[in-house]
Structure 1
Amino acid sequence: MSTEKVPEEKQSVLEGFKAFLMRGNVIDLAVAVVIGAAFTSVVNSIVKGFINPIVGAFGTKDLEKYRSCLEAPCETNAAGEVVRGIPILWGSVLSAILTFLITAAVVYFLMVLPMSRYLARKAAREQQAEEELAETEAEEISLLREIRDELVARREGGPSS
């Protein structure tokens, strides 16, 4: 009996996996990852080509070279590797923070804000359409009540207007 169940389980697992892959969310996520990877290189270029030189106007042009030494003095060899001391690479941290802030700002102002405005306008239009439909239905119900009352009055032999 267990050998008969295995192919069915494999079939259902494969079908489930196929259904998972074919969902719109997975495809959207894959597209987002690809676009995010491309966007990361754009943001890194902006930070390295634009922000770093502006910061460099006040010091070193490369933020990665901003560092402090925890145990003084820090000594480096010809290759730039620290051979003595404990360096704190706060320039790298600053560069990463700037990259994050630029990415977050671009995502917010170019994607999140316009989408939320679009969804708010769409919701307002839908609400207005629902209100108009409810108003139309109320008018129709009022008209139908009048017709009903007129028919009841005629059936009872009452006066018609």
Structure 2
Amino acid sequence: METPTVNELGTVQATQLQWLVDRAEITDLVLDFARCVDDRDMIKYAENFTEDGELVLHAIHLKGRDQILSIPGFPPEWAAHHLIGNILIDIDGDVAHTRTYVVATHVFDPATPSDTAQAGGWYLQDLRRTPDGWRFTRAEVRTVWETEKPLFPQPELS
């Protein structure tokens, strides 16, 4: 086995460093995906996508930043709290894919913070490196379980 040259070692180290930087930037983007919902920062939420990015939320399929910005917000009294972890990242050059575990809690009335609903599942996201950094080309929220009370209760009909 030949000993790598100094130049080859530098190339390997630069490649490893780029991989670590990419993982850190992608992790921050995935975390911001949840933070934006919790903070109701929908402008930043949409900016985390490419111009033609897609968002799949259950039966809702939105394409492009303008459609993503059109998502109806939660009622003002609601609060959301998303816990995410186990971010699996697969990077292949200028594209990447993630699978992230998520548990979402919605509080419907701040006067009764025990009035909540929860659901768990995954964020499945495709990303592309852009001049502005990593951005989502597609993000899907896939629910695996939820509490008896739904995250999005339907209004009562009178």
Normalized against structure 1, the TM-score is what? 0.25
- Which structure has the greater CA radius of gyration? 1
More RCO (CA 8 Å, sep 6+): 2
Which has the larger share of strand? Answer: 2
Normalized against structure 2, the TM-score is what? 0.25
